[in-house]
Amino acid sequence: MTTMTEASVREFKMPDVGEGLTEAEILKWYVQPGDTVTDGQVVCEVETAKAAVELPIPYDGVVRELRFPEGTTVDVGVAIIAVDVAGGTAVPGAEAPAQAPAPAEKEPEEAKPQGRQPVLVGYGVAASSTKRRPRKGADVPRQEPSTATRALQSELNGHGPAAAVTPNRPLAKPPVRKLAKDLGVDLATVTPTGPDGIITREDVHAAVAPPAPAPVPVSQPAPVTAPVATSAPVATYDAARETRVPVKGVRKATAAAMVGSAFTAPHVTEFVTVDVTRTMKLVEELKQDKEFAGLRVNPLLLISKALLVAIKRNPDVNASWDEAAQEIVQKHYVNLGIAAATPRGLIVPNIKDAHTKTLPQLAEALGELVSTAKEGKTSPAAMQGGTVTITNVGVFGVDTGTPILNPGESAILAVGAIKLQPWVHKGKVKPRQVTTLALSFDHRLVDGELGSKVLADVAAILEQPKRLISWA
């Protein structure tokens, strides 16, 4: 029987699963101490500021310890689970024991086959030999750094001098990076005040704010003491009357992104009320069409197609603003975002290259996007790179609204409830299916004329859907 030693324990650290994110919340553990795990097995589900992601373990062994309970937010680079791999083979990149076990203690059948495939983008290894070259200084135990960030950097540095290869990229969360970019602030010049040297929104604002006048420090104690005096009764007064919900994960990222968008891009919103009776009839006809068998056919499908046609007729609306270069970036593709309400908050996955899809292909893509979002399985990649977005507030019975742009996009179309209303049709007042559309756009990119043309084209197509043929 082989005795478990500290040298055989491998620590699996929280990876960066979302392009520069600094933390993730552990939603659920799928294993417990004592369970046997295999290379590539999903051991937990975590939620970043962008999406929920399942994490696979990169080696075989027995779970010795879960370092954090469910519901804990953990920094990237911090060990979350310890696995005893005695008798197994560690993957490249993991620290090897000081000495290999004696041949008598290891059965030939336990040799790990070659060719393991990566399970998670940015994590895993390519096919290679299981034999590894011993590292220089491998017999010297590696000490864990003092902070999560330093731990991650140290692992990347290997055994070389830390100062020689430490990345110069400042630590900041995506919304803070976006804010800095919009304000023209170089993060390398900002003094961080957050934990572990992370730059906060306040740090970015402080970098562009004028020097504070002398009275400011004197007046600060007053607002500081007031909340302290009032917060205690709130927490102890009556828990049945109030509930405090921590804002984290997707909800926290959405809040930060919307604030950044609202106060960075100059929004303009225009409205139009349109008779969509013919569109609703076409929806019913398509449901009976064999080309759409098994596909979800609804008004959103034709509204999406109408917006894509309107963009084709007015391509300048499909752009983004590059603050650093002070340039407008014209997009020759449309990644169509669909705002989706989920239990974890609002997310906006997008259909890549939606402009190239036929109507049945678009219906299939919309169906997959909605089902994946409802299951909470939307990947971070699916929410990146959007160019324009549709938000359907009509499903909640709302007539219309003034939607806020998804950060980095040029326009967002809000669709209100479709309902019977009195409408003048062919000179007579008749009950018709009517809805109100609202288009918000970034006035740095889109002037009033261009925005009006796009909205008018969408309305014209929904009023006379045969224009999908004549204008496409």
How would you classify the pairing of strands 52-56 and 42-47?
antiparallel
Taking each helix axis as running N to C, give the angle between helix 359-374 and helix 299-313, from 0 to 180 degrees, rounded to the nearest 10: 120
Q: From the CB of residue 108, how many other CB atoms can be counted at a distance below 10 Å?
A: 6
Active site residue 443: yes
- For residues 334 and 314, give the distance between their C-alpha atoms in angstroms, rounded to a whole number: 12
Please give the torsion angle defined by the CA atoms of residues 457, 459, 461 and 462, in that order, rounded to the nearest 10 degrees.
160
Query: Looking only at Cα atoms, what is the longest distance across the chain?
Result: 95
For 106, residues 6+ apart whose C-beta sits below 8 A from its C-beta are 87
Which candidate in 159, 332, 425, 443 is catalytic? 443
Q: Please check whether residue 338 is in contact with residue 351, taking contact to mean a CB–CB distance below 8 angstroms.
A: yes
CA distances (Å), 435 to each of 275, 287, 393, 395, 459, in order?
Answer: 7, 21, 11, 12, 10
110-116 contacts at long range (C-beta below 8 A, 24 or more positions apart): 112/39, 112/60, 112/88, 116/39, 116/40, 116/91
- The residues carrying an active-site annotation are 443
